[in-house]
Chains A and B, each alone.
Chain A
Amino acid sequence: MPKDVWICIKLIQEPFVFDCSAAEQKPKDPEADNKSDGSEETGSDKILAFSVSSSAKLVALTDDTKRLVLFRCEPSWQVISTRWVVRRCTSLVFTEAEDEVWAADKSGDVYSFSVVEPQKTGELKLGHLSMLLSMTLTPNDKYVVTADRDEKIRVSHLRSPHNIQAFCLGHLEFVSSLLAPPGHPQWLLSGSGDGTMKLWEYESGRRLQSWDLKQLRDMPKSDTEKETRSAVSRIAGSPGGHHVAVQCERVPSVQLFGMEQGTEERLMPSSRLTLPHCPLDLTFDPQGRLWVLLDSRETPFLVYTHTQDSWQCDSESPEMKRVTEALQPHWEALQVSAGLESRFQHLYKGNFDNMASYREKKQQRLQQQKEQGGKKRGPGKGQQSNGASKKAKKGNQPGPVTKASS
């Protein structure tokens, strides 16, 4: 069983390595041993999500075995607690106040876990009817924003999550990433399997701007559009609020956006960075440099600095060298290449037209009745097959359409 290792590098300290497979095992439930239904499921120790608190003093991660591990980083790295989530999670986020860490799971539920009482079990806060893919909190912990596979972005009051403030509706596929960009307290950025990034005023649900990342890459529309669908896998914002970086899965470039000078605040595409490989992740550091993680043992990191209206790659950065040296010994164990598999491809929904086969049968029945003229049909002959057909036919236009038909 390959081990999965997670590395966190704080630039002023020694690197810290945590191996989930060596972490605390779930205590066996004596009652469960008596059950013969074989529902005991074992996950891998793969890490599914992590989060760093705003002060960078706390870190939380969650894995495929359904652990939720809370760490402190100062004065030194230490596990504070290991708790258990009900279902596998996809997203973790600390509150700004650092009193809670929120977890969104695959069944659509959101739980909050106390940081102040690190052993306390999670509390159910809100739920979607679909797998949650991303979550973020807005400034001052006012709202929790959750995004799901049903194209929905929901904005709820953090302290009373049953109270939905607004929905941000506009994406045509699952919503894969969210960002409350620093420096813009009313804004929310979202990325989707539909290949677009949208900017919202989240409190009202009003859409402000939208960009098709594929068009920005100057990709001509092709017949094989479906095969080249690329979900937005990461949106990052610079600490000063001037830049946004966007990553699409399996695309070897980063799209950058900057603030347009003008009466109204608007975001504009600024430059596109071509990369030697597809990126796994990206983030801005507190100095505003863009770090990109690549699938390359020799050069896992690229660091870009913004100088005079362009992004320059700094290949001599001492921090980058330190981080690279810390990462390389663990490269094989990290199974970095596994990260290149599409995380999102399976989330696109299948096209099953439930109505098509029913309509066909109905047409046949009506045609037969017409041909029979006014002849009465006995109830026995009028029987129809029960239930909607389970055999799927590929139809077109499933899911949201811009105009509904009756």
Chain B
Amino acid sequence: MSVSMPQKRYYRQRAHSNPMADHTFEYPVCPEDMDWSQLYPEFFSDHQSTQKAAQVEFADIGCGYGGLLVELSPLFPKQLILGLEIRVKVSDYVQDRVRSLRAAETGSYQNIACLRSNAMKYLPNFFSKGQGLVYTNTDVEEVHLWMVKHFSEHLLFTRVPDAELVDDVIISRLGTCTEEGKKVQRNGGKNYLAVFRRVEDQN
């Protein structure tokens, strides 16, 4: 059964959505209750039950139309990647897109999925505490400086110097594979990147 690719023009929605408003979202009571098999059926099929349950290792907060998810999927085929998007139409687009891609190429794109949610409020419902890296990217310098300031001042994060990011496969794609990224390129804008690592509390 072929699933045709969704057309973006039917899923347009303005960029800003108020995350403080009481939209209605579905979210698990706690991370242990989350049924990831709905989003990544291939990874949770029966023959895998004896193996360690797969976990989402990448989260794209505000994934938009899913450009980054699609780009990263073949690069990390054994790892689960989740896109979180608050907008109704846009999250639906990504879900349709993933369905269509999975149908077109058997076995591919099984490791990406999109959830409609408010990451600010409900991230702790989906994910337990973990270590890791935060990649930030923007074409607006003030936003970049704001993010750098807050992450640098936060005692649980430290900035990863550019020298350490030379071989990073994600960095090279952050500014190019998303809708916003392509728009910036067309307009000759600049991308501001900053990466931060979660560290232990010093106290």
Contact = CB atoms under 8 A, between A and B. Distances in A.
Interface stretch (A44-52, A162-170, A261-269): A162-170
B124 A386 contact: no
A129 B120 contact: yes
B120 A387 contact: no
Given A152-B124, A170-B30, A163 B156 contact: yes
Given A163-B201, A354-B88, A404 B20 contact: no
A157 B201 contact: yes
B38 A150 contact: no
Interface string A360-403: 00100100000000000001001110111000000101111111
A353 interface: yes
Interface residues of B, number: 44
Contacts of A388: 13, 17, 87-89
B121 A150 contact: yes
Contact of B156 (A162, A170, A172): A162
Interface in B5-44: 7, 9-14, 17, 19-20, 22-31, 33-35, 38-39
B101 to A, nearest CB: 15
Contact of B24 (A129, A166, A365, A399): A399
Contacts of A401: 26-29
B95 interface: yes
Nearest to B24: A398
B154 interface: yes
A342 to B, nearest CB: 19
Interface in A112-168: 129-130, 150-152, 157, 159-160, 162-164, 166-167
B121 A130 contact: yes
A384 B88 contact: no
The number of chain A residues touching the other chain, given as a range, is 35 or more
Interface in B111-153: 113, 115-116, 120-122, 124-125, 129
A167 B129 CA distance: 9
B155 interface: yes
B203 A160 contact: yes
B121 A404 contact: no
Contacts of B60: none
Contacts of A384: 9-12, 89
B121 A129 contact: yes
Given A163-B156, A402-B29, A403-B35, A349 B203 contact: no
A350 interface: yes
A386 to B, nearest CB: 7
Given A169-B124, A352-B22, 4 more contacts: A157-B201, A159-B203, A160-B203, A362-B10
27 contacts: A129-B19, A129-B120, A157-B203, A159-B203, A160-B203, A162-B154, A163-B155, A166-B129, A169-B125, A170-B30, A172-B29, A351-B24, A355-B92, A355-B116, A384-B89, A386-B13, A388-B17, A395-B24, A398-B26, A399-B27, A402-B28, A402-B29, A403-B35, A403-B38, A404-B26, A404-B27, A404-B34
Q: Which 6 pairs between the two chains have the least Cβ-Cβ distance?
A: A169-B30, A398-B24, A388-B88, A400-B29, A163-B201, A403-B35
Interface of B: 7, 9-14, 17, 19-20, 22-31, 33-35, 38-39, 87-89, 92, 95, 113, 115-116, 120-122, 124-125, 129, 154-156, 201, 203
